[in-house]
Amino acid sequence: MKTAFTRIALTTACLAFAGQLLAGEPKRPECIAPAKPGGGFDLTCKLAQNGLKDGGLLKAPMRVTYMPGGVGAVAYNAVVAQRADDPGTIIAFSSGSLLNLAQGKFGRYDESAVRWLAAVGTDYGAITVRADSPYQTLNDLVEALKKDPSSIVFGAGATIGGQDWMQTALIARAAGIDPKNLRYVAFEGGGETLTAMLGGHVQVTSSGLGEVTPQLEAKKVRILAVLADDRLPGKLADIPTAKEQGYPISWPVIRGFYVGPEVSDEQYGWWKQQFDSLLASEDFAKLREQRDLLPLSMTGDELNAFVLKQVEEYKTLAGEFGLVQ
């Protein structure tokens, strides 16, 4: 009797737990990429889309939708103001989003306006040219800029003060070049930027590494420098760092997600559990590696603390360039 009672109690508890999980699972999951297709936000959403599906962590198919504008500003404001309690929507963010938040570029909402959910990987900044470019090294590019800063047009997926601009500004400053003298064309996302460079409309792109590696494999581009402390592993090991070329610049790019501020604890907890399981999976580690991203696994309170600290550091950096509003 005792054994049977224990078994019944255990079964009841398991069914109740399963019911809680099902209650938290959204019926129409969606990932918003806050830019046009083809850039880093798209990459981030599709990483979650494929990982959650392949890992059996999401029953309904997740759709990826695009909401370009302000490196995430339009999506951030739309979610906070209009979809604050939407349990089925996760939104991609990057270090560029946090840098813009630090500068007040997201309007009246600050970094505390949403619930930071999960970080799933890290990328690094990269300075890239076409494969037929005359610039073979980062030093070739810098020397040309020293002679005439206006002779080279940079393309990047953000406005002045954005992440891509900041990468080139840091290199320029290290080389003794005033970043204000650089010619810069802003695009809406990394996909547009890369297309513009391949079409010859700009000569150099500054972006996340994962945005340009597919074209590297196709031999259409040359990456002059990756902005990491050390050379990256595996197939990326041949790409030189800016640091080894005399420019001690490192720019890691976090890739992750947040949800609306009024998403319930139950619904938030369901998403967190799915991402905790995903990030512990060897299959997901392989999927992330295929996208040329490196491990960075944080969820919940740990990610929230990281985001708040990162924004404060970016405020200091933006202040050095006179960018804080």
DSSP assignment letter at 28:
S
DSSP per-residue string spanning 194-248: HHHHHTTS-SEEEEEHHHHHHHHHTTSEEEEEE-SSSPPSGGGTTSPBTGGGT--
Instruction: Give the model's pLDDT for residue 257.
Output: 98
**Number of helices and strands in the chain (H, E):** 11, 10
pLDDT in tens, 127-144: 999 999 999 999 999 999
Instruction: Give the model's pLDDT for residue 324.
Output: 67
Instruction: Give the model's pLDDT for residue 23.
Output: 54
Instruction: Give the model's pLDDT for residue 292.
Output: 87
Q: Give the CA distances from residue 1 to residues 5, 15, 20, 122, in Å, rounded to whole numbers and listed in that order.
A: 6, 21, 28, 54
As a CATH number, domain 30-123+253-320 is: 3.40.190.150
pTM (2 decimals)?
0.86
pLDDT in tens, 94-139: 999 999 999 999 999 999 999 999 999 999 999 999 999 999 999 9
- Confirm whether 30-123+253-320 and 124-251 share one CATH topology: yes
Q: Give the CA distances from residue 275 to residues 92, 100, 190, in Å, rounded to whole numbers and listed in that order.
A: 14, 26, 26
Q: How far is it, in rounded angstroms, from Cα 129 to Cα 135?
A: 8
Domain boundaries, the chain: 30-123+253-320, 124-251
Question: Is domain 124-251 given the CATH code 3.40.1280.10 in the classification?
Answer: no
DSSP per-residue string spanning 37-89: TTSHHHHHHHHHHHHHHHTT--SSPPEEEE--SGGGHHHHHHHHHH-TT-TTE
Residues in the chain with pLDDT < 70? 1-23, 324-325
Closest CA to 73 of 37, 32, 43, 39: 32
